[in-house]
């Protein structure tokens, strides 16, 4: 095994401490890029390295800070960086000081080849079919089309958040109407709060796997999964199958509590897939304070596959 590959020992300890909602992107320039929520929820950082493990020691660069007031001035959450048509984009969630829970999805753009250079420009809010609590947007390419998947409070306001999908007409705009993919319905999705959030996409073995996180951000937080055939119409909810059991849960023996809000990347040779996720090293957390407990750490795990080509995370 190459020294840059992830070992069992690496899986048993945090990759980067106090970085929740971790996102890792392996670019064609040979770098792994990392971004995540910081405990202060006040900025967006990037770091990069030649291996996933080396991200732990990489120097973070602050590329954007929250506004003093108004939109994008509070709760800067879950940034994701993507490379689309020769430009860099960051999708992130933000509230405002006057109303911290007025959470919406916002976009930054950088046209420099090097995302550590150039200017990160604010491109406005991502507009969905209605205005409500909206966060955790991820985007992916599938058969030359770009899609966005995100968490949003439904029009009926019966849950904290559901997951929706839409095709993208540009990196800033959605082709509406959006499609409801999943809403919290199983007991393990409704502990503390009724939540489906943090979507991430893995395209493997003739399938499109969509993982997501469910329940409150304490030890009950866990990961669920939807799956569609690779050639299916991804905008038709009937083409997605939702698993009735979570695919990653708290592992007390391993000291991993409330795992979720993941992303996916690969080894340098592309032969292994990695799950990047956050979890706490302890269970005890006040639910009313859970979001402000700083010790949600980024972890990494190698993905195994079963005989049907489905990813195994436990």
Among all residues, which ones are annotated catalytic?
21, 197
Is cis: bond before 177, omega within 30 of 0? yes
Full strand arrangement of the beta sheet holding 257-266? 257-266, 273-280, 297-302
The 3 state secondary structure assigned to 202-213 is: EEECCEEEEEEE
CA angle at residue 212 from 157 to 81, to 5 degrees? Answer: 105
DSSP 256: B
| Host H or E run for residue 99 | strand 99-110
CA distances to 77, 236, 287 from 185, in Å: 25, 19, 21
CA angle at residue 67 from 61 to 73, to 5 degrees? Answer: 105
CA angle at residue 125 from 123 to 130, to 5 degrees? Answer: 155
| Three-class secondary structure of residue 30 per DSSP | coil
Backbone φ and ψ for 238, nearest 5 degrees, come out as -70, -15
CB 278 within 8 A of CB 299: yes
């Amino acid at each position: 095994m190459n020294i840059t590959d992830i070992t069992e020992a690496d899986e048993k300890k945090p990759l980067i401490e106090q970085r929740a909602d971790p996102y890792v992107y392996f670019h064609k320039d040979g770098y792994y890029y990392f971004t995540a929520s910081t405990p202060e929820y006040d900025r967006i950082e990037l770091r990069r390295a030649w291996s996933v493990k080396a991200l732990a020691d990489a120097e973070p660069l602050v590329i954007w800070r929250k506004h003093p007031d108004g939109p994008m001035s509070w709760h800067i959450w879950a940034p994701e960086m993507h490379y689309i048509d020769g430009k860099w984009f960051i999708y992130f969630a933000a509230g405002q000081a006057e109303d911290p829970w007025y959470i919406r999805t916002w976009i930054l753009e950088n046209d420099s080849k090097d995302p550590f250079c150039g200017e990160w420009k604010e491109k406005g809010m991502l507009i969905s079919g209605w205005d409500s609590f909206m966060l955790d947007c991820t985007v992916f390419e599938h058969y030359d089309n770009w899609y966005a998947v995100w968490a949003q409070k439904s029009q009926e306001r019966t849950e904290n958040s559901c997951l929706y999908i839409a095709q993208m007409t540009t990196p800033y705009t959605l082709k509406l109407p959006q499609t409801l993919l999943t809403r919290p319905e199983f007991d393990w999705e409704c502990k503390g709060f009724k939540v489906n959030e943090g979507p991430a996409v893995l395209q493997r073995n003739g399938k499109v796997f969509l993982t997501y996180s469910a329940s409150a951000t304490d030890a009950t937080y866990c990961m669920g999964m939807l799956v569609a055939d690779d050639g299916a119409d991804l905008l038709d909810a009937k083409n997605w199958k939702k698993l009735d059991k979570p695919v990653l849960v708290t592992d007390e023996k391993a000291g991993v509590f409330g795992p979720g809000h993941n992303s996916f990347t690969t080894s340098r040779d592309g032969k292994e897939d990695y799950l990047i996720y956050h979890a706490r090293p302890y269970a005890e957390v006040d639910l009313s304070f859970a979001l402000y407990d700083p010790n949600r750490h980024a972890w990494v795990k190698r993905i195994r596959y079963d005989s049907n080509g489905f990813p195994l995370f436990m």
